[in-house]
Chains A and B, each alone.
Chain A
Amino acid sequence: MKCVVAGGNVKVLGKAVHSLSRIGDELYLEPLEDGLSLRTVNSSRSAYACFLFAPLFFQLYQVATPGQDTLRCKILMKSFLSVFRSLVMLEKTVEKCCISMNGRSSRLVVQLHCKYGVRKTHNLSFQDCESLQAVFDPASCPYVLRAAAKVLGEAVLPFPLALAEVTLGIGRGRRVILRSYQEEETDSTIKAMVTEMSIGEEDFQQLQAQEGVAITFCLKEFRGLLSFAESANLSLSIHFDAPGRPAIFAIKDSLLDGHFVLATLSEPSPNSQDLCSPELRQPAPQLQAHSTPNLDDFANDDIDSYMIAMETTVGSESSRTLPPISLSPDFQPPCNSEEEDEAEPELSTVPGTPPPKKFRSLFFGSILAPAHSPLGPSPVLAEDSEGEG
C-alpha cells in the first residue's frame, strides 16, 4: 500500500487522527478499493469510529504494489498520533505526507515532506490484523437529526469538559434538547449543576423524530467527531433509535466520510423521562414569548412553581430527589427482538471489562469467514500473534 497526501489534506488527515484518538488506543489501517479506511474501537467496545478517505483525497493512492497482497494493519494510536500531533506544524510546514506499508518488515512508514527539503520519516511497527468492522446501518434507524457542525458545536459548548454523558432528545415544540446526564449515585447530597441547551427546529437541516424520544451517549467521543466536522465545515447527522441501541454519527463529503457509532444508555435516563414532563415543556412557552418581541414571559412565569419552602427543603431534600436507578449489570431485554437479532446476533461483553455504566457493548463482526471468528466470549477479532517484526 502506498499513498500520498498533499497540501491542506495533510491537516484534514491529522484532524481525523485526533478525533479517532479520543476513542481507541489502537488504529486499524486498511487500504480498500474505495479508499483508505482508518478505524478504531474503544476498550469497552462501546464506541467505534471510522473514516474513509476516497482515492481522490490522495495525490497518489495504490492499494497494493504489484505482486503484493493487500495488507491491513493495526498500530498503536499513540505512535500514529505523534506523527500528526501538532496541527499547526502540519499546516505550516508539511507539504506532503507519504504513507506506505511494508509487509516484509511489518513497518508502516510515514514520511512528512516539509519545507526547505526537510523530510521526517516515522517507522511504525504494526501487527497484521483482521478487519475491524462494526455492524451498523444508519438507514435502519428511525430517527435522524442533521445540522451544521457549527450549530452542534455551539450546542455542546456550555457543557463542562469533565461531563461524561449528555442526553439528546426532542422536547416540546420540536425543540432539540441537550442536557447533562447525571448519574443518580447513592450520595445525593452532592449535586452537580445540570445544564440544558434547547435549540429551535429551524437550526436543523433535518429533524426526523417525534417529541419525547431521547438517547444518552458519551460526550467526549461526540466532541471528537464534532471538532473534525467543524473544521471541515460539514453537516453532521445523528441516526438513532430507542435507548440502548447504538447511535450513529455521520459526516460525508465528496472525498471522505466518517462514522462514529456510540453506545447509548439502555435504561431511559431520569432526564429523558422528563422530556414530556413540565420541566422540558418549559422552553415551549418561552419560545412563544420570544417570538413575539414585546411580550415578556417574565410576567407569565408561573411563580408558584419556583417557591421553595425553606425550613422543610433542607430537611426533606433527599425525599425530593428521584429514586435511584438500579444499576443492573444485565442488559435489558431488547424491546423488539427481531430487529435486535438481525443486527446484533452475539450481544456480549468483553470479558474482564464490564461495560462502563449502563452502556451496552456494540457488536463488531468480522468480515472474514465466520470460521475464523472466535466463538469465545469475545465477539471481536482474532488477534495476531504477539510478534512485532
Chain B
Amino acid sequence: MKFRAKIVDAACLNHFTRVSCMVAKLARACTLRIRPHKLNFILPDTAAGGGVSMWCELPQENFFSEFQMEGVSQENNEIYVELTTENLSRALRTAQNARALKVKLTNRHFPCLTVSIELVSVSSSSRMVTHDIPIKVIPRKLWKNLQEPTVPDCDVSIYLPVLKTMKSVVEKMKNISNHLIIEANLNGDLNLKIESELVCVTTHFKDLGNPPSASEGVSQDRSPAEMAEVHVDIRKFLQFLAGQQVNPTKGVCNVVSHKMVHFDLLHEDVSLQYFIPALS
C-alpha cells in the first residue's frame, strides 16, 4: 500500500483546505478513501453517530499535480484510512502561502498520513513543516460498511435556499426546541418548523424550484401542494449548515417522509452528500 500526492497550485491548495475544514466541521473522525482518480471523505452511518452519514467526493486530478497510489492489491486498488478530521484541517491551515504540499502514507512511529509543507520564508531559505497525522488503516473486511450510500426514493426533492439564511433561522430555533420539522412540496415550498408547548414557529421559503423529477424518482402522482415532512434533531441539521462556509454551486434537499432527509451539495467539483435520519 503506497500513497503520495502533491499540490503546487495555490488555488488548489486553498480549495483542498476548505474541503478539509468543511469535513472537520461535519465529523470529528472520518474515513479517507483513496482511489486512483478520486478521494472520499466518509462518515459511515453508525449508532454512535446518531445515524448521520456523510459522503464527500473529489476528483483527484483537480487538486493534485502528482498523485501516486497503490492499493491493497490489483483488484482492490483502494486504501481506506481513518483519521481525526481536526488534525487534517489544522495541518492544512498551516499551509497558507505554501509553495508546495505533499501528502503521503508513512509509517514512522505509527502509521501516519504525513503532510509536508514547504513554506515561503522571509529569506530565500526553505522552511518545512511536517505533520504526522495518526491514522488507522481499515482492513478489507470492513470496507463494505464504507460504500457510497444509496439515495432512497424520495417523496419530494427541492433546491435549497441560501444556506446562510437557513443557518441563522435554525440557530434561533434551536433555543426553543430540539426538534425541527422539515417540510417540502413539489411547488417549491420549503418550511422549517418547530413546535413547543407554548409556541409554534415556521419559516417559509418559497419558489425554490424542484429538480427535474424523473432522475430523482419522485412519484409522479403526488399532488404538487402536498407536503412531505420529516422530524430531525435540530443540532444535527445545524452542524451540517455550520459546516458550509461557502454557498454551494448547487444544493438539493431530498425528503423521504418520516424516514430521513438527504442533502446533496456541489462545491465546484466537490460533491457532498449528508444524511440525517428522522427522529422516531
Contact = CB atoms under 8 A, between A and B. Distances in A.
Interface residues of B, number: 42
Given A291-B126, A298-B102, A193 B118 contact: no
A198 B127 contact: yes
Interface in A64-86: none
B139 A306 contact: no
B132 interface: yes
Interface in B122-158: 122-134, 136-137, 139-140
Contacts of A154: 121, 127
B193 interface: no
Contact of A306 (B4, B110, B118): B4
B37 interface: no
4 smallest CB-CB distances across A and B, nearest first, come from A200-B125, A191-B134, A158-B94, A202-B125
B107 A193 contact: no
Interface in A168-199: 191-199
A184 to B, nearest CB: 10
Given A193-B131, A202-B123, A203-B123, A314 B137 contact: yes
A88 interface: no
14 contacts: A151-B121, A195-B129, A196-B130, A199-B127, A201-B125, A202-B123, A203-B122, A203-B127, A283-B128, A287-B126, A298-B102, A305-B107, A306-B105, A314-B137
A196 B129 CA distance: 5
B130 A195 contact: yes
Contact of A198 (B6, B112, B128): B128
B177 interface: no
Interface string B1-12: 111101000000
Give the interface residue-count category, chain A: 35 or more
Please report whether the interface of chain A is mostly helix, strand, loop or mixed according to DSSP: helix
Interface string B54-85: 00000000000010000010000000000010
A313 B107 contact: yes
A357 interface: no
A313 B87 contact: no
Nearest to A291: B126
Interface of A: 150-151, 154-155, 157-158, 160, 191-203, 279, 283, 286-287, 290-291, 298, 301, 303, 305-311, 313-314, 317, 320-322
Contacts of B94: 157-158, 195
Interface string B80-112: 000010010011001000000010111111111
Given A158-B94, A303-B2, A306-B4, A191 B124 contact: no
A154 B125 CA distance: 14
A163 to B, nearest CB: 11
Nearest to B86: A193
A273 to B, nearest CB: 12
A348 to B, nearest CB: 35
A223 to B, nearest CB: 16
Contacts of B124: 202
Given A193-B87, A200-B126, A306-B2, A317 B132 contact: no
Nearest to B102: A298
A279 B108 contact: yes
A321 B106 contact: no
Contacts of B2: 303, 306-307
Nearest to A200: B125
B107 A320 contact: yes
Nearest to B113: A193
Nearest to B5: A298
Given A197-B127, A308-B1, A308-B137, A151 B122 contact: yes
